[in-house]
């Protein structure tokens, strides 16, 4: 079995850094730094902040399952950053920051869920049964 090089505590910090960075950065970018003319403040908050609030409790509690499924949510921000990078050259810097934060959260969550799950003896695989019949 391979030994992990980064502790689960550091992976958790990495994931939470990416998470809270997105939570603060997205409304800052979309409401203050480069406000959209086509989206209202409420719509922007619902589309870009509300999805991040769903895993908050489980992330703070260190639940490996929450870290695993929160990757589905962070993909929204990764795709948004890639699309913005391609379509709006004026927002290139903000899109790159979004991609950095989303990638940090994704990597931190993925490896935290894997290694913490192993520490706790959790598995998504069915145990192999003996075939001695």
Number of domains in the chain: 1
Contact criterion met (CB below 8 Å) for 80 and 70: no
pLDDT one digit per residue (tens) for the chain, 133 residues? 566 778 999 999 999 999 999 999 999 999 999 988 888 999 999 999 999 999 999 999 999 999 999 999 999 999 999 999 999 999 999 999 999 999 999 999 999 999 998 888 876 666 666 555 5
Nearest-angstrom CA–CA distance, 4 and 123: 17
133 lies in a domain?
A: no
DSSP 31: I
Contacts of 83-88 with CB under 8 Å at 24 or more apart are none
Instruction: Please tell me the pTM assigned to this model.
Output: 0.86
Any domain includes 84: yes
pLDDT at 126: 62
| Distance of alpha carbon 102 from the chain centroid | 6
* Cα Dmax for the chain: 69
Please report whether residue 106 resides in a domain.
yes
Give which of 100, 111, 105, 92 is closest to 51, Cα–Cα. Answer: 105
In a domain, 2, yes or no: no
Question: Which of 32, 17, 6, 8 shows the shortest CA–CA distance to 101?
Answer: 17
Range of the domain at 63: 8-120
Element (H, E) at 57: helix 56-61
């Amino acid at each position: 079995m391979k030994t992990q090089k980064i502790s689960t505590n550091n992976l958790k910090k990495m994931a939470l850094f990416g998470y809270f960075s997105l939570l603060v950065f997205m409304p800052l970018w979309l409401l203050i730094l480069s406000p959209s003319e086509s989206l209202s403040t409420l719509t922007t908050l619902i589309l870009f902040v509300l999805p991040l609030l769903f895993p908050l409790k489980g992330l703070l509690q260190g639940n490996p399952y929450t870290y695993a499924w929160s990757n589905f949510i962070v993909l929204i921000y990764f795709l948004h950053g890639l699309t913005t990078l391609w379509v709006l050259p004026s927002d290139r810097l903000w899109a790159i920051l979004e991609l950095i934060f989303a990638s940090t959260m994704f990597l931190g969550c993925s490896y935290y869920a894997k290694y913490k799950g192993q520490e706790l003896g959790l598995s998504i695989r069915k145990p192999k049964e003996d075939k001695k019949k």
